Chains A and B, each alone.
Chain A
Amino acid sequence: MDSFLLALSNLSSGWVILSAFAGVLWGIFGGALPGISPSIAMALLLPFTVGMEATNALVLLASVYVGAEYGGSIPAILIRTPGTNSASATVIDGNEMAKRGQAGEALGISLMSGLYGGLFGLLVLVLCTESLAQVALAFTPAAYFSLGILGLSVIAGLSGGSLLRGLIAACMGLMVAFIGSDPVSGVQRFTFGSVDLLDGVKPILVMVGLFAVSEMLVQIGEPPWARGNTGSTRLKLPNWAMSKRLFKPQAIGAAIGTFEGVTPGAGGTVAAFMAYTEAKRWSKHPEEFGKGSPEGVAAPESANNVVTATALVPLLSLGIPGSNSAAILLGGFLIHGLQPGPMLFQKAPEVVYGLYGGLLIANIAMLLIGLVILSPCMWLVNRPKPYLIAFILALVMSGVFAIQQSLFDCALVLLIGVLGYAMRLLKIPVLPMVLGMVLGFMVESNYRRSLLISGGEHSIFVTDTASAILLGLSAVLSAYSLWKEISERRKSAK
């Protein structure tokens, strides 16, 4: 109780509030730039935290994470360019809403869903850290493999009505994921002797190429002086009726985000895609998904913002950083002589509670900063199209170069853009490819590790309890998707 009161008194300190606001602002800026991931934005600030007081430093880093995860949705909605990996599910309906002149509504939904998601995640973090940590401990390589399969089972929902095309796209994504070093033996695969491919292809390159570059290749062929049709340049927060409609997808996103967040390695991208497909499955208007559904924006945004808090569960309770961003935060703890893990709650409770309080302020800061900056962002996007295309491409090229300071990446992203253009021509959905790309490494590496553990026995995937549950869930979801697709086809044939 004393620690809790101490944390509360910390919150009234101007430095904590300043750290939270500065972190969120920096995070939104970094997250909105394609190529600057939340972890990069955090890493850039890490050296500056050395001289800071521990709580302020950790609040600053955690606030960057909150801001960056939210910031990724702004270009995703306005210019079809996901700023972060986890914002790629928001592109689908967010950008469709923007094209229909509802950019203000889409950004408002994204902001409020992000806020609710962030606050819900914080609640989970505060109340359930110890119990949820057991979930993370129960995950063996077999369970991780099955978790990847569960992620892939949503492909049917992302295939846009053609399971075969969706399967082809997912295979393409998996194939790209296999480029680089083999996860078990380190042998190079599909690198064709190129040093630039030794580390594989980064998912953000695939996403920027498939979404942003291909979109610009399409836009350049359209009438020159058409302005961006984002409608009013005023941010529009959801009204009561809309809020009621969005409650269910936000709750779905929150539940999935909680599960994926506490599982080290799963992350916001998988959570966002799963939340999107589940929101579609349970929606009263599934036909609107992909054409500008507000629910299609709310679910993934809620999910990936829940993850910003729940991803800290395994870090704080077990000392396991489940993502790159959590690893940077771990660095922040270590710099200040703190070791995350069970003892942290006894040794430095004021830092833990201070971090909780800082996260609360960060979410409020996200709302306030969002309210201020979103209208100017919409104004920018309403500039004449030729200038807009040129500026987006300048941003894309700079951001992509910034990832690894590699011109090879810039050329690769153009190649992927051409692939995205061809996929659009041939009506091949890009989302299953993105999902395959994101999950490819996780599925293959854990599949092979499991077989190494079991001595080549595939039964490990059903004898491991967590794995069996996840595989069962994947089978049920896949069967349901197939049944739904077949019954819809029969209906439309009649």
Chain B
Amino acid sequence: MNAQQKDRLTGLLGMIGSSIYVYQASLIEDSLLADAVGVTGVPTAIGVLLGTAAVFLFLKSWLPSKAPATSEAEEAPEPGGSDHPHLKALGLLAILLGFVALVSVFGFILCIGVMVATVAYFGGARQFKTLIWCALLTGPLLWLSFDYALEIRLPTGMWSQWIGK
């Protein structure tokens, strides 16, 4: 995708996003305590501003490009490197969502250990002994740091009667 196509897509998404946002803002009911601006005043204005900027960007993308952009944003590294970077990103996201879905059932120590080993394996690590050690150590280490040192309770899941306080 070249820069103009990216601008076009950004503009289009911006217009859609702003329309949905302004529509959602219009559904909010004002309270009796509402001031002159109202609950929806500022969000609507920002939604319209986003829409206007998106329209300008969309229109600008159809104009012939005059100069190559050399900004930091232009030169920011784009996702890539392997054959299917977006698929790999999707795979990682699936692992993390799996962690979020299962942690309340199986508890933090087990889930974070499995997550660490799975992510490392998914990322290319193939030393099974190291993977197992990572899985075994990460959970208890983080548990001790958060639950005991910081006194922040992490989910115990099905093990609550053994490790819950």
Chain A: how many interface residues by the 8 Å CB criterion? 75
Count contacts on B: residues with CB < 8 A to the other chain: 90
A190/B92 contact (C-beta < 8 A), A161-B74, A184-B33, A218-B77 known: no
B1, B46, B103: the one contacting A407 at CB < 8 Å is: B103
Answer whether A451 and B36 are a contact pair too, CB < 8 Å, given A387-B120, A393-B115, A492-B68: yes
8 Å CB interface, B61-100 against A: 66-82, 84-86, 88-89, 91-93, 96-97, 99-100
**A224 near B: Cβ within 8 Å?**
yes
State how many angstroms separate the Cβ of B73 from the closest Cβ of chain A: 3
| Shortest beta-carbon distance from A60 to chain B in Å | 16
Q: Given the complex of chains A and B, what is the CA–CA distance between A188 and B122 in angstroms? A: 41
The reply on B110 being an interface residue by CB < 8 A is: no
Who on chain A is nearest to B89 by CB?
Answer: A217
**Do the beta carbons of A159 and B21 come within 8 Å of each other?**
no
- Distance in Å from the Cβ of A34 to the closest Cβ of chain B? 12
Complex CA distance for A492 and B97, rounded to whole angstroms? 45
Binary interface profile of A, 429-452, with partner B (CB < 8 Å = 1, else 0)?
100000000000001100110011
Stretch in contact with the other chain, from A70-78, A316-324, A420-428? A420-428
Known A165-B73, A174-B46, A427-B73: A386·B35 in contact at CB below 8 Å? no
B121 closest partner in A (C-beta): A386
Q: Are A165 and B10 in contact (CB under 8 A)?
A: yes
Residue A185 lies at the interface, judged by CB distance under 8 Å to chain B: yes
Taking a contact as CB atoms closer than 8 A, the residue among A172, A190, A428, A448 that contacts B37 in the complex is A448
Is A402's beta carbon under 8 Å from chain B? yes
Q: Looking at chain B's contact residues, is the secondary structure mostly helix, strand, loop, or mixed?
A: helix
Which of B14, B70, B120, B123 lies in contact with A492, CB distance below 8 A? Answer: B70
Question: Judging by beta carbons under 8 Å apart, are B10 and A426 in contact?
Answer: yes
Interface on A for B, CB 8 Å cutoff?
30, 36, 44, 92, 159-162, 164-165, 167-168, 171-172, 174-175, 178, 182, 184-190, 216-218, 220-225, 289-291, 384-387, 389-391, 393-395, 397-398, 401-402, 405, 407, 410-411, 414, 417-418, 421, 424-429, 443-444, 447-448, 451-452, 456, 489, 492-493
**5 chain-A/chain-B pairs, Cβ below 8 angstroms:** A221-B82, A221-B84, A390-B120, A397-B115, A429-B72
